[in-house]
Amino acid sequence: MGARGAEKYDAIIIGGGHNGLTCAAYLARAGWKVVVLERRHILGGATVTEELWPGFKISVASYVVSLLRPEIIRELDLPRHGLEILPVDGTLTPLDDDYLWRVDDHGTTRRELRRWSKRDAEAYDEYSVLMAEMARFVKPLLGSAAPRLGTQDARGLAALAGFARRFASLPESQQTTFIQLLTMSSADFVSQWFETEPLRATLASSGIIGTFLGPRSPGTAYVLLHHYLGELDGEYRAWGLPRGGTGRVSGAIASAAREAGAELRTNSPVARIVTREGRAAGVVLENGEEIAAQAVISSADVRVTLQRLLEPGTLPPESEAAISNYKFRGSSGKVNFALDRLPTFTCLPPGTTDVYRGMVSISPSVDYLERAYDDAVTGRFSRQPYIDIGFPSAVDPSVAPAGKHVMACFVQYAPYDLADSDWNSQREAFGDTVQATIAKYAPDFPDAVLHRQVLSPLDIERTFGLSEGNIMQGELLLEQLFAERPLSGAGYGTPIRDLWMCGASTHPGGVITGAPGRNAAMAVLRAGGRRGRGRQPADQEQAA
């Protein structure tokens, strides 16, 4: 067991989500004495699997993976720590009396697309290759602190120059696509290639996830790209389910961190961060216990870290203003079901079963998604929401009792702020709406429901500590990306010396990537040398 009380740690990591654990693992491997403090009774943060009902193991929040950085899997040797990813195959978009069903098998998908549009079938290959190229181009940006335009320091200038060189070496058509991905709406972006409405909508839907924007809002094309960055076994845009649930991802990282010597404590909510002479010096837990450390690294979001956990007045006023202006605006909910049997999508030929190994997307048209957004703008949840549905038990039977199933529904839009109501009174109505929306395509679905868990943005905030229930710890808006995330030019540092951030509020943002945790660990190590004690004062990566 690690030391307690008076003995000082090199680093305290606030929050045992996958990013906090990743950061801890890297620091511990560098020889740092590290403790992770998790508020809940289990580790994992939003990367968590809980047995909500006997035999039903529910991946409560995050439910698919693909974006976990391959270097993290490799360096932390996660397969040895129990990580096994099972592939998910295909996306079905059910319609009233038809469907669009794309699967991994190239020939099958091509035939299906030709049924809709020959032109689209041709364009699909080109589009897929192009997006893989884009993912490859962006990938190096994810693995380190983002270069900042106008930077003065040598490392930053070198990074910028490197990026400019790589950009210049792209073919012009790919340069165009990269600019478009940063600036366009996801609907406009995909409509350049495709005319089939459900294809446009389903592709564009990746661009709205976790944002308070509609598919026709500029900026959503970047979110679309963000969801293409995944790479499983070297294949881009491959999605998978961890055997045993997404909790296994954080479980494997926790195991790697523990093996490297990190101490992981649950049921240890941090009440505040202690600063002394302008430096972070440790934390006080809610039970009054004080823990001292050379550095404090928070995987909580920027608002929780710098506004809730710091004494008011600690930050300079400009930083306070910048944090107040940082946009969370949770817009999504999650509904988890325990099912007696799998639902039947009546648009499919009778007897079709392999659809459950993939995702089902309720996104029949761009207008449908846009109208779902319009509801959110007026302060209510979508009457006809976008739903991304997965059936983890169809891929991994270990997460449900024999013959039973679990079904995960990611739902948009569910605005954190409701206009004339509150989530405590609307939670079940929201669940009913989701259920009714799915029942339109699978009428036998409601009868198959054994249990239901509804997570509104308020619940996501309360359960996982994510401000306003934003699953990305802040919207992926252009002004909140790269070097602007979360505070302009701050990188993983904060205005307080020895206080760092390593969560999804930092570059490159949300989804299970582990990149913020790893990048933060690198920045902290660079600032502090290989050992925590006696290290140099933090360099300019500590915020301006």
Instruction: Give the pairing type, strands 91-94 and 359-362.
Output: parallel
Say how far apart CA 203 and CA 173 lie, in whole Å.
20
Q: Which is nearer to another protein, 207 or 282 (CB)?
A: 207
66 forms part of the interface with another protein (CB under 8 A): no
Q: Between β-strands 9-14 and 240-242, what pairing exists: parallel, antiparallel or unpaired?
A: unpaired
Taking each continuous run of H as one helix and of E as one strand, the counts in the chain are: 18, 20
The residue (of 173 and 353) whose beta carbon lies closer to another protein is: 173
Question: Applying CB under 8 A, which of residues 17, 94, 219, 251 lies at the interface with another protein?
Answer: 219
Q: How far is the CB of 489 from another protein (least distance, A)?
A: 9
Residue 410 · residue 334 · CB < 8 Å = yes
Does position 188 interact with another protein (CB under 8 A)? The reply is: yes
Nearest distance from C-beta of residue 500 to another protein, angstroms:
22
Instruction: Determine if 158 is a binding residue for another protein (CB under 8 A).
Output: no
| C-beta of 172 vs 420, nearer to another protein | 172
Q: Give the tokens for residue 521.
A: 């660990």
The number of residues that bind another protein (CB under 8 A) is: 37
Site for another protein in 226-265 (CB under 8 A): none
Locate the DSSP E strands across 322-358: 332-339
Q: Are 542 and 494 in contact (CB under 8 A)?
A: yes
Closer residue to another protein (CB): 436 or 478: 478
Q: Cβ closer to another protein: 119 or 258? A: 119
Least CB distance to another protein at residue 533 (A): 36
21 versus 477: smaller Cβ distance to another protein: 477
Residue (150 or 312) nearer to another protein, CB: 150
Rounded Cα distance between 138 and 509, Å, is 14
Binders of another protein in range 318-357 (CB under 8 A): 318, 321-322, 325, 327
List all residues 6 or more positions away from 464 whose beta carbon is below 8 Å from its beta carbon: 17, 45, 46, 61
Report residue 530 as tokens.
């290989």
Considering the complex, what minimum distance in angstroms separates the CB of residue 148 from another protein? Answer: 9
Q: Is 490 in the site for another protein (CB under 8 A)?
A: no
Find all residues with CB under 8 Å of 158, minimum gap 6, and list them.
none
Q: Which of 3, 129, 158, 179 binds another protein (CB under 8 A)?
A: 179
Q: Does 488 interact with another protein (rule: CB under 8 A)?
A: yes
Q: Verify binding: residue 478, another protein, rule CB under 8 A.
A: yes
Binding mask 436-475 for another protein (x = CB under 8 A): ----------------------------------------
Q: Does 121 bind another protein (CB under 8 A)?
A: no
Sequence-distant (≥ 6) Cβ neighbours of residue 87 within 8 angstroms:
104, 232, 238, 239, 240, 395
* Sole binder of another protein in the list 367, 384, 401, 429 (CB under 8 A): 367
Cβ at position 216, least distance to another protein in Å: 6
Angle of helix 366-377 relative to helix 197-205, nearest 10 degrees, comes to 50
Q: Minimum CB separation from another protein for residue 190, in Å?
A: 11
Going by C-alpha positions, the residue among 407, 420, 350, 328 that lies closest to residue 381 is: 420
Q: What count of Cα atoms within 13 Å lies in the side-chain half-sphere of residue 25?
A: 31
Start-to-end CA distance of the chain, whole Å, equals 38
Q: Is 419 in the site for another protein (CB under 8 A)?
A: no
Q: Give the whole-angstrom CA distance, residue 524 versus residue 504.
A: 16
Of 33-41, 129-137, 177-185, 264-272, which part binds another protein (CB under 8 A)? 177-185
Alpha carbon of 463 to those of 33, 45, 48, 64, 453: distances in Å?
28, 9, 11, 19, 13
As measured in angstroms, the least distance from the Cβ of 164 to another protein is: 6
Please choose, out of 20-28, 217-225, 235-243, 403-411, the segment that lies near another protein by the rule CB under 8 A.
217-225
CB 74 within 8 A of CB 257: no
Q: State which of residues 97, 172, 233, 277 lies at the interface with another protein (CB under 8 A).
A: 172
Which residue is it, tokens 């003065």?
A: 152
| 3 interacts with another protein by CB under 8 A | no
Angle at 137 between CA 132 and CA 142, to 5 degrees: 105
**DSSP for 225-266?**
HHTT--EETTEET--EEETT-THHHHHHHHHHHHHTT-EEES
Where does this chain bind another protein (CB under 8 A)?
A: 149-150, 164, 167-168, 172-173, 175-176, 179-180, 182-184, 188, 192, 212-214, 216-219, 318, 321-322, 325, 327, 367, 370, 374, 377, 477-479, 484, 488
